[in-house]
Structure 1
């Protein structure tokens, strides 16, 4: 929640003309001045304890839009047996791999909030690794972080004389994309001044929802955040036998 900004006044079409028209429609006379926040010449909001027009931002929905899964070869070892049959072992323990998170915003009607948003993403439930980062509301962001992937496995293959095998370390690369939708609504009072009294009063306060209704102004502003996460998991070894050496 925060006091409405000049940018948000534009988004909600809070021009002087629209607000004066709405006031006239509501209480029967066109005012000389209208206000949505301090400062005012008479300190109306503090003097009469009126609430300024406030923006309220809230999430209204989230959905996964894309899940892409690919196998990626990260490493290969060539095993060759020039002599007697023997077992060859391939061991993998921990590798540090680059994981990514990116955030983009639908720029249409973006509100001017000053909030920071924190992201805490667990990329593997078996051996938790996390990407932690922060960004400001409405600001596109991309972050890469080399996180440990705990493989903790070994595999073996029997090689006959002259046999060659390529041992390939393969991991699953996952991309998840999802959208979070927000809406911004208003609450508070629109301050009104009449140079000459109207119904015995110079100053009036109208509920902002009534003003929006009378002038047929937008009541909600929608924005959308798109989050993309790339990470690795589920390593395994694939053996590919090569033709024997002559």
Structure 2
């Protein structure tokens, strides 16, 4: 079999997920691989010596060879590097339901109506590949990867394919549509609402593939002195390496992490139920705000009452001061009247004295009559 194929199925749990990796690739051993397997220089001759108990003059792993083409002449097989899959396994699978999209349906008409509840959304499936050290061997063939995502896409299953060369890491991305584009409907009464939710399992899957590289074929050997009657011999490379305690097995690992969506469904919910939680939270918040406002109003009322009480006290104090001032003014008026009375009395006394004096004196220049007008004294001349 030529080529290596990796087939992966990503489901919503380990039971529905799987991995299948098989195949092999081979090629004539390269100079890099000669070093990787420890067959360089005298190591190869020493290995043949241990295997045959006689030191060879020349050892060859592949064409060309002197003396014509020993591999072609005797039908020997050149030493080749064979890479094959020896194990593949799922390391981890996790899946979590996720709301991918929502669609609100509201019947604002006065009639019963049927609404399309189909919901779909574009999402991305991704792969990320990492390798152990792979530069010790040469592999020219590409590896083929086929992934199947269950319950994804409008058809129920989505596939993804790509090719990588040996040791190539990196990522691959595929955009797919999950959900349903048609065939889902719901009747709604007037003023009734519903919510269509697209729910899919968002999964993560990690797999590991183990490869083994080994050598097959024959070494071509020339003995300077015949060995068991012949100069040219061929020996199985695996036996030669085993007798020389050389490792004929190199392992490499590839890990693939896959992010994907699977098992998508559309779930219908009553619109009122879908918003109950939000409405309840809003109502609680408004109730708390109302309580806070009432408390603020009560505090403001108390403050205003205290201010009014203080104002009344100030007003009463001012009224008391005003009454006191009025009392003082009345007292001053009384004092003024008393003074006026005293002045009148004095004037009367003066008039009496003046009249007596004038009469007695017999003044012929005229007489004066003093009139008391309020607090002032006026005089009129009589001719």
Q: Fold-level match, TM-score > 0.5?
A: yes
Q: Does 1:112 align with 2:138?
A: yes
Superposed, 1:13-24 pairs within 5 Å as 13-24=38-49
Partner residue, 2:166 = 137
CA deviations 1:3-35 (Å, max 9, x no partner) are 122222222211222211111112222223221
What pairs with 1:139-218 in structure 2 (closer than 5 Å)? Answer: 139-151=168-180, 154=184, 169-218=198-247
Say how many residue pairs are matched: 245
User: Residue 65 of structure 2: which of 36, 40, 46 is its match?
Assistant: 40
Gaps of 5+ in 2: 1-25, 284-383
C-alpha change, 1:83 and 1:198, in structure 2 (3 Å) is closer
Matched, 1:72 2:76: no
Report if the CA contact (8 A) 1:100-1:145 is conserved: yes
1:185 is displaced (CA, Å) by: 2.4
Deviation (angstroms), 1:211: 0.8
1:235 and 2:265 aligned: yes
CA distance in 2: counterparts of 1:132 and 1:26, whole angstroms: 47
Distance 1:31 1:148 in 2: 67
The 8 Å contact of residues 135 and 141 in structure 1, kept in 2 or not, is answered as: no
Distance 1:98 1:110, change over 3 A: farther
Please list every run of 5 or more consecutive structure 1 residues that lacks an aligned counterpart in the other structure. none
Of residues 221-230 and 148-157 in structure 1, the stretch that sits farther from structure 2 once superposed is: 148-157
Q: Which has the higher helix share?
A: 2
Note the aligned Cα RMSD (angstroms): 3.4
Q: Please give the per-residue CA displacement for 1:67-122, whole angstroms capped at 9, x wherever unaligned.
A: 121233333456789999x9996723443321112332222575322222212212
Of Structure 1 and Structure 2, the greater strand share is in 1
Distance 1:65 1:34 in 2: 45
Instruction: Tell me, in whole angstroms, the C-alpha distance in 2 between the residues paired with 1:82 and 1:201.
Output: 101
Deviations 1:121-142 (A, max 9, x none): 1212571211111112322242
CA 169–87 in structure 1, closer or farther in 2 if over 3 Å, else same: farther
What are the within-5 Å matches in structure 2 for residues 215-230 of structure 1? 215-230=244-259
If asked which structure has higher relative contact order (CA below 8 Å, sep 6+), I would say: 1
Change in 2 beyond 3 A, CA 1:238/1:33? farther
In structure 1, the residue matched to 2:128 is 102
- Aligned equivalents of 2:239 and 2:147: distance in 1? 42
